Structure 1
Amino acid sequence: MVSMSITPTSAKRPGRVGGRGLFREVFKWSTVEFKYPSEDEKSVALISGKYRPENGLPLGLEVWKPGVGATLATVPLPQLQKKMVATSPILDPYPSWSWHTLDTCNGITSVFRVAVDDCGRLWVLDSGKVDVVTSVKPVCPAQLLIFDLKTDSLVWSYKFPKLQTPHGSLLTNIVVDVKQGKCHDAHAYVSDVFRYGLLVYSLREDKSWRIDHPYFYPDPLATKFNLDGIRFSWTDGIFGIALPPEDVKTGNRSLFFHPLSSFREFSVPTSYLRNETGSEQKDPFRKVGEPRRRSRGHASGSAFDRQGVLFYNLVSKSAVGCWNSKTGVHNPHTQGVVARDPKGLSFPNDLKVDHNPDQGLWVLSNRLHKFLYSTLSPNETNFRVYTGKVKELVKGTPCGPGYVPPPQRKQRRKCQDQ
């Protein structure tokens, strides 16, 4: 199954991306359509204005194995054959319509991202905000909902305290850290893109805390965007967050992150994030290597595979980039591009690496810039989901196995007498 988070707003043959035929278009849509219990209920929703297909925008995705038996919806995962034709399935609200039709805050308000952990649970990040295009209107408290994917039943829920979600905040991304396979000892890391913070939730303690740091802020020199001739300025902070595999010997790892309006990557040990009281020791936050992507542009969603390769969407270049963290070197020479397509990957927004033994990379593109500053034609394909096998995508790139980065040059500092 593929789950998609859909945000409500107030307003050919499948493509082979990247030139090597390794990235395939699985789904495509012109507008978002939902499966209603009946045609009568759908007609009533259309007439009343509660359902406007043109106002739905897919923002996030997650993948789990087939057989696991609206702002959050699912589509059936097809058999990924080489000659498959991309389909445009109707989205089925998850876990049921009743979660999306309540007028109280007991249901689901507005999901931006979801995450599947290694314990077969779906973590749903509900921002509680609507009209995010114009005003970021708070309707309900931001919350986490955890579903058992075997039964599609809610196993736990948690509402973030108001003090941890200041006015104007927007929770947009989530990753789940299950410590050494212990399902009860799980933490969720949640990014606040507009108020530049990171929320940490402990499942075992059933509590959360907020962490603030200058690295969560946008880079003032990286706020200008130019996509398809559309120029705009964004001051989006921490957005892409990703967890590499645990260290085999120590079990430790760091959270890698970057603001959307930035060209840098940063990291912080998860041991620091999981400690609510913090530490008086030296600042544990680190910049990772040189300013990355400066010649390639801004990055949105990101994710690691089991081999330690970090994948990230290059929104300014309609591409998907990669970096093999095991090289120990982070610079332009150790980063590659696994897919590029100005049309098919027009604003690649979310990205996931699935949990299958032979891992696959999944990317959602949604033409967000045109949705916000221009118009989306109902006669064109606007939303796409692509996939490809990780081990095939990295071949021939600096992210592939056996790649040896070139020796680093020592930087010379120019001195000037005062």
Structure 2
Amino acid sequence: MTPFFVAIFLLATADTFTQAYESSGDGDTEDSTEDSSYDESVYDLSMESCMKQDLEYQTFKPQDIEARYMAVYGTRIFISLGKSTGIPATLFSFPTNGAFSASPNLTPFPSLVMHKFGDCNKIEEARGVQVDAVGRLWVLDYGSDDCNGKIWTIDLSDNDHTELIHRFGSRDWIRDLALDETPNGTLAYISQFGGQHIVVYSLERNQSWTVHTPGIKAYSIALSPKDEEPRQLYLGQLSSTELFSISVAELRNGNRTSNPKLIGNWTAEPYRMRMDNHGTMYATFRRKNFIQSWKTSQPFEEQHFHEVAGPNNCVPFTFALDHDGILLIMLFDYCNKPRLLEAAVGEKSFKTSPEQCQLFNIILICSNVFTVILSGLIILWLILRQRRNNSIPPNTNEVQEMPVIADNHADDVGPAESAAVRGRSHIRPGC
């Protein structure tokens, strides 16, 4: 096995293992019809750090947590919560690693001071979140009665640098987003509950516009993978089980109207949809205790992906896909203890976390060093072997053979015979 293949094997082996967490409480037994293995954690989510800063937040109750949207980057999870009394913010983060025995503390993200309802320059009510290819967290801000909706970006690779990049012309009832990143620029497709249209935002032009979708009020949204052309944007409605698609090419061309195409019907009304790198879509439903999936390369036929004992609130699930194809599912059981599940479902990407990139670089460097050393040893061995062959004269065996024979007989003959033997020593022995 060559050093190159050794390095690749080690890298693949390292990526095979996923982070496992020790549960801090008992959870319900779950069944899944999908051939996927899960790692599970049970979290007693608290806001102790917030309570220490403001007495108002001591009214927080765990059962008030209603997870809306989720994103993941490296070892951090970002989650937007429904606005409720006693909850100090609507966007939080918590780590996926650390001490096994400790449940994480929800931390307002990027900081508590960046959250204030009614302040147009702060995060008021976070909705859809997604991480792009360069490590920026996009956050949709629902706004308030006094402030229009807006878009924030938080650079997770640059000390969480936060920037308000766009203000919409109205509150717009924005919900979720899907990012279309191309060499020509980045477009955000945004679902807007209440109207028969979606919103398109161009990062490079810092402009947004509406695209009419006659007859469809989009609530949930999902984008097909980059390598599946022509790409499609999928739309689900809050009050309908119907699933539609529209052409991404039309959206890129700036069309202001796109007629949705009916794809099929879900079991229930979807409130969140996401697509993995294989082109499999996952959907969650209001007050339903299961997650469904559909392989978009095939005619519409939903599959039962995961199920729990029963929902405890309006939106029992939220989930996100990381750049390694890991599906993370946050769910809430009857004990109001959020649980985090991990399942490897998507194709791995080279856009991995900094820790994985560092591991790959170390393995690659070690492989190159080993190759250079091994090559040098082989060359040195060949040189020494060639010198040894050149130092041996021709017919060496014949020259050395007779003295050995003569010496062996020298003790058994007299002087005359010895002289005779010496006289014949130049004669090559016969058979």
Relative to structure 1, is the Cα distance of residues 195 and 27 closer, same or farther in structure 2, using a 3 angstrom cutoff? farther
- Pick the aligned partner of 2:302 from 326, 335, 349: 335
Following superposition, the deviation at residue 53 of structure 1 comes to 6.2
Distance in 1, matches of 2:48 and 2:98, equals: 22
Distance in 2, matches of 1:71 and 1:316, equals: 21
Q: Say which SS state the counterpart of residue 69 (structure 2) adopts.
A: strand
Compare the two structures and name the one with the higher helix fraction: 2
Alignment of 1:255-334 (within 5 A): 255-278=233-256, 284-288=259-263, 291-293=264-266, 296-327=267-298, 329-330=299-300, 334=301
Structure 1 counterpart of 2:177: 174
1:76 to 2:95 alignment: yes
- Pick the aligned partner of 2:223 from 223, 243, 247: 243
Structure 2 counterpart of 1:350: 318
Distance in 1, matches of 2:65 and 2:142, equals: 16
Structure 1 counterpart of 2:185: 185
Q: In 1, are the aligned partners of 2:32 and 2:305 still within 8 Å (CA)?
A: no
Distance in 1, matches of 2:42 and 2:72, equals: 13
- Pick the aligned partner of 2:150 from 143, 154, 157: 143
- Pick the aligned partner of 1:59 from 36, 46, 68: 68
Identity %: 23
Q: In 2, are the aligned partners of 1:27 and 1:386 still within 8 Å (CA)?
A: no
Relative to structure 1, is the Cα distance of residues 35 and 188 closer, same or farther in structure 2, using a 3 angstrom cutoff? farther
Structure 2 counterpart of 1:133: none
Return the TM-score normalized by structure 2: 0.63
Following superposition, the deviation at residue 345 of structure 1 comes to 7.9
Relative to structure 1, is the Cα distance of residues 187 and 33 closer, same or farther in structure 2, using a 3 angstrom cutoff? same
Q: In 1, are the aligned partners of 2:225 and 2:231 still within 8 Å (CA)?
A: yes
Structure 1 counterpart of 2:232: 254
Q: Say which SS state the counterpart of residue 242 (structure 1) adopts.
A: strand
Letter in 2 for 1:45: E
Letter in 2 for 1:354: D
**How many matched pairs?**
308
Segments of structure 1 that go 5 or more residues without pairing to the other structure are 1-11, 130-137, 218-237, 368-376, 393-418
Alignment of 1:92-131 (within 5 A): 92-101=107-116, 104-129=119-144
Letter in 1 for 2:47: F
Following superposition, the deviation at residue 194 of structure 1 comes to 2.9
From the CA coordinates, give the structure whose radius of gyration is larger: 2
Distance in 1, matches of 2:311 and 2:37, equals: 14
Q: In 2, are the aligned partners of 1:58 and 1:383 still within 8 Å (CA)?
A: no
Relative to structure 1, is the Cα distance of residues 200 and 108 closer, same or farther in structure 2, using a 3 angstrom cutoff? same
Q: In 2, are the aligned partners of 1:24 and 1:386 still within 8 Å (CA)?
A: yes
Q: In 1, are the aligned partners of 2:188 and 2:200 still within 8 Å (CA)?
A: yes
Structure 1 counterpart of 2:47: 34
Alignment of 1:184-263 (within 5 A): 185-217=185-217, 238-247=218-227, 252-263=230-241
Segments of structure 2 that go 5 or more residues without pairing to the other structure are 1-24, 78-88, 348-431
Distance in 2, matches of 1:111 and 1:93, equals: 11
Residue deviations 1:123-157 (CA, integer Å, cap 9, x gap): 0000013xxxxxxxx24210000111112002451
Q: In 2, are the aligned partners of 1:308 and 1:325 still within 8 Å (CA)?
A: yes
Q: In 2, are the aligned partners of 1:319 and 1:345 still within 8 Å (CA)?
A: no
Following superposition, the deviation at residue 390 of structure 1 comes to 1.1
